[in-house]
Structure 1
Amino acid sequence: MFDVLRVRDFRLVAAADLLSSLGDWLLLVAAPYFVLRLTGSTLATGLTLAAGTVPALLLGPVAGVFADRWDRRRTMLAIDVLRAATVALMLLVHHPGQLWLIYVALIGEAALGQFFGPARRALIPGLVGRGPHLAAANSVAALASGTVRLVGGPAGGALFALAGFGPVVALDAASYLASAVLITAIHHRPEPSSPQRRGGTVLGRFADDLRAGARHLRATRGLPAVFVTASVFFLGNAALTALLVPFTGTVLHAGAGTLGLLFAALGAGYLAGAPLSRAAAARLSDRAVMISSLAGLSAVFAATFNTHDIAWALLLFVLIGPPGVCFLVTVDTYLARRTPDALLGRVGSAYGMLQAAATLAGILGGAALGQQVGIGITADLAALCVALSAVAALLIPRHTTTGSLDAGKPSPLAPPERSAEC
């Protein structure tokens, strides 16, 4: 899996993403606690958590088009600098009357992130190719995500308790600037394309770009089935997420400290899942990995939310990570291998928008259903929803080799392939 780190430009992108993600997770814990301390309002605190969901729904299509139009390296660089400035606005908040600045900063940070994410995902195949290095690159990204989940939340809470909100904000802004410095060192430059002169209005050309992305999603064999599978999974997963706090409090009879341990256990599972996803990609088809991962996840989810013992819950949260990472990494690789470079931003942004919409619906539905019928029944229905996503994955074609783009062609900057093994 780590052979891909021999590609210098990918190392820079991976390190930049790790730094900025770590800063995000530090703030994810500190911001709600700061707002609660400032206002004493649970509603105001909840709005800090919801602030980051709306931009994904509103800006997804726009971000994808521009990620394909603009130079992706320069886009990432500019977005990091702008995010650092946006986050720094929170340093100006000292009393409840200035609370609106927190929401502006959080929404602005999330909105800018909608442009950074598609650009980063679309840049990766150009750095490592679409062969085995692509699956390895996505596994490394999952490893970094697991690391951030494991240490980011607890570190943010500890830093907030020891030093206050200002240092957490400053550290988040600094992480974006450090990411920008790493991105400036990337050598990769896209091949110059001949300018295309197109008639019509700006909105007309923008609509044409959106339609081109939609046509690719509809016409490429396997992509509609993967989108359906992912949407069903995210719906069930989000419903379970909505139950985490009441499950910890009313079923496990534990407090916030135990919830933090559960998140740490989930992060440990993500760390274990990264090399497993690379090994699975080397030995099984994408379809087989998705079906088996989702089936395993549904079983682990059902067991997790029906246990009343904290020790068993911690163990089961660790077991959530490996199949979850295998599914997410495989989907990322599947989409990239079946999408031409000129459309990668739009496809990645459509996938992100689908994830945001299904997650929002799942959280609202899980919370409402949990209130009406109870945590246990709602958790079982959500686990069943994840099992249905495994059934939906059966619709993915068994053989889609003809749909892959340069699957075995490495990047000119990538080292020669030695083995498909982990």
Structure 2
Amino acid sequence: MTSSLLLRQANFRRLLLANFFSGVGDWFNSVAVLSLLLEITGTAMAVGITLALRTLPYLVFGPLGGMLADRFNRKAVMVACDLVRAVIALCFLFVSSADDVWIVYAGTFALVAFSALYNPARISLIPDVVERDQLLSANALEESVFGIVMAAGSLVGGVFAAYWGTDAAFVCNSLSFLLSAALILRISLPPRSSGVRREADKEERKANEPSYRDLFSLIRQTPLVLYTLLMTTLWPIGGGILNVLISVYAYQVFAAGKSGVGLLYGAIGLGFIVGGVAADLLKRRPYHMASCSLAVEGFAHVLTSFAPTIYLAAACYALSTVAGGMGNASLRTLLMRHLDNAYHGRVFALESTISSVLIGLSMLVGGWLLTVFEPRLLGFAAGLLITLCSLILGVLIWQASRTADSAAPAQPD
């Protein structure tokens, strides 16, 4: 299998492991922060504000992260961001009452700001360490690792926070960034320039470096890329509300507390693991997955709103992320295949910036809407919105893919 071959490649394996360890720590932090907020404030609004602050910094730092990924050493960018995040992660240790909630907001904003600088470099590094015909398998593994991270980080993090306290979870998060930095340092890549030509090459790259204006022009001229980006950026309109509902379902609908939060996030993580495996098995059909999977994800969220128990709700969440994992892997692969590598840092920064800002606003609005509407009604509406948007854009991606395939030679899978 392609996946097993990829895992034998040291550079890609280290990239995955760095993502795994920092991700597990981040989920320890997420479960601890959300649980702490609900305990010291008792309101869903605080959760909505915090979740919004985990995405809104992308508006400023996302585009900057894309430029850094395309212009500078990507390893250096990633290591620097990890070291800074290791320090910031410790600030949550100073939160003890509702008067300290501003520390949660400030620390969350700072962590996300450096994550926004980090992520475009990490994603752009994937085509540099794997072959073109391995891209979908690499992205499928990324989704599976994301699922493992979520399942391990949230489920274990919930138990960890319950027994050893939130402070221990925050310390683990800080240590995870240090471990990630050590792994990234071991990734060996050929230098972009060397010797006496280093400065000349640097100036030449800067002069020929594509701008965001060039990228926008290319997107307008490439329908498949346009529809793919629309799919990845419109989902958060409903997805942000659904993210807020996870903790609210656990605490207020099913009265399951911290263990309920861990259970739901664990189910979501399990779904991403299965979705990544399924995407790898169906790697010869990326257009099929891109066209259908996110609509299935939205419908699964509609079913979640009717779940009578937290266990059935967890099963629906797992189903939604099986489809979501397949969709994410296929959509990212389509962007990598149909855009030149020179644009990768900026296009993934653009995608994450738009989607993160939308999901942040959606979470903020979702926190407010929960003071007016019942959680189940809000979950039904958000799931229906995702389903309808995904169906429409799925048809457009399917049509654009047929045109792209007829205009270009087939690529090996």
TM-score normalised by length of structure 1: 0.84
Residues 202-233 of structure 1: per-residue CA shift (max 9 Å, x gap):
xxx99x72222322322334111112222332
Alpha-carbon distance change, 333 to 66 in structure 1, aligned in 2, over 3 angstroms: same
Structure 2 counterpart SS, 1:147: helix
Cα distance in 2, alignment partners of residues 260 and 69 from structure 1: 40
Give yes or no for the alignment of 1:337 onto 2:337: yes
Cα distance in 1, alignment partners of residues 373 and 229 from structure 2: 30
Cα distance in 2, alignment partners of residues 44 and 117 from structure 1: 26
One-letter code aligned to 1:73? K
The correspondence of residues 175-254 of structure 1 with structure 2, limited to 5 A, is 175-192=176-193, 194-196=201-203, 209-248=211-250, 252=254, 254=256
Alpha-carbon distance change, 9 to 197 in structure 1, aligned in 2, over 3 angstroms: closer
Q: Partner of 2:387 in structure 1? A: 387
Structure 2 counterpart SS, 1:398: helix
TM-score normalised by length of structure 2: 0.85
The correspondence of residues 285-364 of structure 1 with structure 2, limited to 5 A, is 286-364=286-364
Cα distance in 1, alignment partners of residues 376 and 346 from structure 2: 39
Shift in Å, 1:307: 2.7
Shift in Å, 1:188: 1.2
Q: CA contact under 8 A between 2:250 and 2:264: conserved in structure 1? A: no
172-181 vs 157-166, which moves further: 157-166
Between structures 1 and 2, the one with greater helix share: 2
Q: Partner of 1:85 in structure 2? A: 87
Q: CA contact under 8 A between 1:290 and 1:390: conserved in structure 2? A: no
One-letter code aligned to 2:273? L
Q: Partner of 1:149 in structure 2? A: 150
Alpha-carbon distance change, 102 to 276 in structure 1, aligned in 2, over 3 angstroms: same
Residues 276-314 of structure 1: per-residue CA shift (max 9 Å, x gap):
0111222x2x32212221232233222221232444323
Give yes or no for the alignment of 1:398 onto 2:405: no
Alpha-carbon distance change, 335 to 157 in structure 1, aligned in 2, over 3 angstroms: same
Structure 1 counterpart SS, 2:401: coil
Shift in Å, 1:70: 0.8
Alpha-carbon distance change, 226 to 374 in structure 1, aligned in 2, over 3 angstroms: same
Alpha-carbon distance change, 246 to 104 in structure 1, aligned in 2, over 3 angstroms: closer
The correspondence of residues 161-172 of structure 1 with structure 2, limited to 5 A, is 161-172=162-173
Q: Partner of 1:104 in structure 2? A: 106
CA RMSD of aligned residues (A): 3.1
Residues 106-161 of structure 1: per-residue CA shift (max 9 Å, x gap):
22211111111000000110100221x11111111111111111121232233334
Shift in Å, 1:55: 0.9
Shift in Å, 1:104: 3.4
Q: CA contact under 8 A between 1:337 and 1:405: conserved in structure 2? A: no
Give yes or no for the alignment of 1:138 onto 2:145: no
Cα distance in 2, alignment partners of residues 190 and 222 from structure 1: 32
Cα distance in 2, alignment partners of residues 45 and 363 from structure 1: 9
Cα distance in 1, alignment partners of residues 265 and 346 from structure 2: 32
Shift in Å, 1:173: 1.5
Structure 1 counterpart SS, 2:188: coil
Q: CA contact under 8 A between 2:51 and 2:360: conserved in structure 1? A: no
Q: Partner of 1:57 in structure 2? A: 59
One-letter code aligned to 1:229? M
Alpha-carbon distance change, 406 to 73 in structure 1, aligned in 2, over 3 angstroms: farther
Give aligned-pair identity as a percent.
Answer: 26
375-384 vs 293-302, which moves further: 375-384
Q: Partner of 1:413 in structure 2? A: none
Gaps of 5+ in 1: 409-419
Q: Partner of 1:412 in structure 2? A: none
Cα distance in 2, alignment partners of residues 370 and 125 from structure 1: 42
Cα distance in 2, alignment partners of residues 360 and 102 from structure 1: 16
Q: CA contact under 8 A between 2:50 and 2:108: conserved in structure 1? A: yes
Q: CA contact under 8 A between 1:130 and 1:406: conserved in structure 2? A: no
Cα distance in 2, alignment partners of residues 304 and 351 from structure 1: 27
Q: CA contact under 8 A between 1:87 and 1:109: conserved in structure 2? A: yes
Shift in Å, 1:48: 4.0
Shift in Å, 1:166: 3.7
Q: Partner of 1:416 in structure 2? A: none
Cα distance in 1, alignment partners of residues 221 and 250 from structure 2: 44
Alpha-carbon distance change, 242 to 98 in structure 1, aligned in 2, over 3 angstroms: closer
Alpha-carbon distance change, 169 to 311 in structure 1, aligned in 2, over 3 angstroms: closer
Alpha-carbon distance change, 179 to 403 in structure 1, aligned in 2, over 3 angstroms: farther
Structure 2 counterpart SS, 1:281: coil
Alpha-carbon distance change, 402 to 56 in structure 1, aligned in 2, over 3 angstroms: farther
Q: Partner of 1:19 in structure 2? A: 21
Cα distance in 1, alignment partners of residues 268 and 256 from structure 2: 17
322-331 vs 153-162, which moves further: 153-162
Cα distance in 2, alignment partners of residues 335 and 180 from structure 1: 27
